Chains A and B, each alone.
Chain A
């Protein structure tokens, strides 16, 4: 099945800083999603982005399907951005959405 790798595994930011999280996948995808898991464990969908670029407030994401990666940008980070960010991908030939190992983000005030 498809392999999904995220980097970096951990990220510490000062409030107000910008950052980029990366997701690499091993196969062509027809489904790619970014999630934020808050400190209480709730997974919130941020973007459905199998290709192209989307923006939602301070967050934006870009997927370059031909090069098999996706990027999540956090601008002007806030302490509420802390948590774990996951990307999940489904290969064109597969049935299931496979999650990466996540990037743990801590934003310090």
Chain B
């Protein structure tokens, strides 16, 4: 069974530029998560989808971050414009449904210079 796929793996951009990350969850998983992990810290939930609806986006900086999951399968997370403090690993995860075991992708490493 294929795991959670993410791309790109690494990205370096200048501040004020934009970037987009893509995620394809495990087949059949209704719940999709985007987490931000800053070096030395635990992952922080940015947004959680149930199918194509948003369950929680309370910690998403909506002035610069956006995410969508239009067809209830893959998802895109966008940052525009990026700030230096956005340098982090962006982790996508999925679960069969909310409350089940969560499976993570390898992450997308972002450096903003």
Neighbouring A residues of B101 by C-beta, 8 Å: 33, 45, 48
Neighbouring B residues of A98 by C-beta, 8 Å: 45
Question: Which segment, of B16-24, B61-69, B70-78, B103-111, faces chain A?
Answer: B103-111
Min Cβ gap A54→B in Å is: 12
> For chain A residues 1-60, which have a beta carbon within 8 Å of chain B?
4, 30-31, 33, 35, 40-45, 48
In the bound assembly, the distance between CA atoms of A4 and B45 in angstroms comes to 14
Are A90 and B99 touching (Cβ within 8 A)?
Answer: yes
Mark contacts of B80-113 with chain A using CB atoms, 8 A cut-off: 1 yes-contact digit, 0 otherwise.
0000000001010100001111111011010000
Min Cβ gap B8→A in Å is: 14
Neighbouring B residues of A48 by C-beta, 8 Å: 100-101
With A41-B106, A42-B106 known to touch, is A95 a contact of B43 (CB < 8 Å)?
A: no
Contact of A99 among B44, B100, B106 (CB under 8 A): B44
Interface size class of B (residues with CB under 8 A): 20 to 34
List the A residue with the shortest CB-CB distance to B41.
Answer: A101
Interface size class of A (residues with CB under 8 A): 20 to 34
Mark contacts of B26-65 with chain A using CB atoms, 8 A cut-off: 1 yes-contact digit, 0 otherwise.
0000000101000001111100100000011010000000
In the bound assembly, the distance between CA atoms of A101 and B98 in angstroms comes to 22
List the A residue with the shortest CB-CB distance to B93.
Answer: A43
Instruction: Give me 15 other A-B pairs in contact (C-beta within 8 A), A41-B107, A43-B93 excluded.
Output: A4-B42, A40-B106, A41-B89, A43-B91, A45-B102, A45-B104, A88-B43, A95-B56, A96-B56, A97-B33, A97-B45, A97-B102, A98-B45, A99-B35, A100-B42
Which A residues fall within an 8 A CB radius of B? Answer: 4, 30-31, 33, 35, 40-45, 48, 86, 88, 90, 95-102
- CB pairs A–B below 8 angstroms (22 shown): A33-B102, A41-B106, A42-B104, A42-B107, A45-B102, A48-B101, A86-B42, A88-B42, A88-B102, A95-B55, A96-B45, A96-B48, A96-B56, A97-B45, A97-B102, A99-B35, A99-B42, A99-B43, A99-B44, A100-B42, A102-B41, A102-B42
